[in-house]
Amino acid sequence: MKPIIDAPSPNCDERAEPISLVVLHYTGMESGKEALDRLTDAASKVSAHYLIEQDGQVYALVPEEKRAWHAGLGGWGPHDNVNQVSIGIELVNRGHFWGYEEFPEAQMTALEDLLAGMMQRHGLKPHQVVGHSDIAPERKEDPGEKFPWDRFAAKGLTLGTYQGGADGPLPDCVEAIEMLAEIGYRVTPTHPVAATLAFQRRFCPQDLGQGLSPLTRAAISAVAGRLRV
């Protein structure tokens, strides 16, 4: 990994709880420079702990012991204030609005190195690395369905995508929604669509947009079962 460049952001404050999550984002802007400028501008009121350019250059914006302002409204499991318990990493990518791109090799290699170090420092497990869309499914799509979760899962850094089929006993739709909440998603039986889409982007991208299909319900059951072990 290239030497990390310090680019301090004023947009942070004190943490009151231990770190228990890492949240992966994409910048969703036209360039890395534009994203870096915004994340370090006091007027923007947003930041992250790290920004990773497409060439693998890592910028350190906020010390890990401080709370960066990256998660916004949302929640995960018992955590209503995700900023309080998380490290935020922004990946330079134009995103769905400007033209969603594959994540380059150099950028992913840098992320591997960065994640491995912080997970060791803070004693984090693979299920504690989530996407922005996981914690804010009604507002966000990032890092999106092109993010290579399986690459990171192979190195013990994240959970991988679902590789099975739709065979065997399946939960019904109500049970699947309850399992989404068990995994960590904020969802109610009357409003499952956003959380289902976020789950598909993360764990079942081949079924994106297919609702609570048999394959998606099988995937939900598998992920929930894995987290119970």
The whole-angstrom separation of Cα 35 and Cα 29 is 6
Nearby residues of 24 by Cβ (< 8 Å), 6 or more positions away = 89, 91, 111, 129, 130, 131, 132, 142, 143, 147
3-state secondary structure 124-162: CCHHHEEEHHHHCCCCCCCCCCCCCHHHHHCCCCCCCCC
pLDDT in tens, the chain (229 residues): 889 999 999 999 999 999 999 999 999 999 999 999 999 999 999 999 999 999 999 999 999 999 999 999 889 999 999 999 999 999 999 999 999 999 999 999 999 999 999 999 999 999 999 999 999 999 999 999 999 999 999 999 999 999 999 988 999 999 999 999 999 999 876 668 999 999 999 999 999 999 999 999 999 999 999 998 6
Active-site position among 34, 64, 90, 105: 90
Predicted TM-score (pTM) of the model is 0.96
Q: Is 90 a catalytic residue?
A: yes
Please provide the CATH number assigned to the domain covering 5-153.
Answer: 3.40.80.10
- Is residue 89 within 8 Å of 152, Cβ to Cβ? no
- Which residues, at least 6 apart from 52, have a Cβ–Cβ distance to it below 8 Å? 58, 59, 89, 90, 91, 92, 107, 110, 111, 114
> Where do the H-state alpha helices sit in the chain?
32-39, 82-85, 95-98, 105-122, 132-135, 149-153, 173-183, 193-203, 214-228
- Which residue ranges make up each domain of the chain? 5-153, 173-228
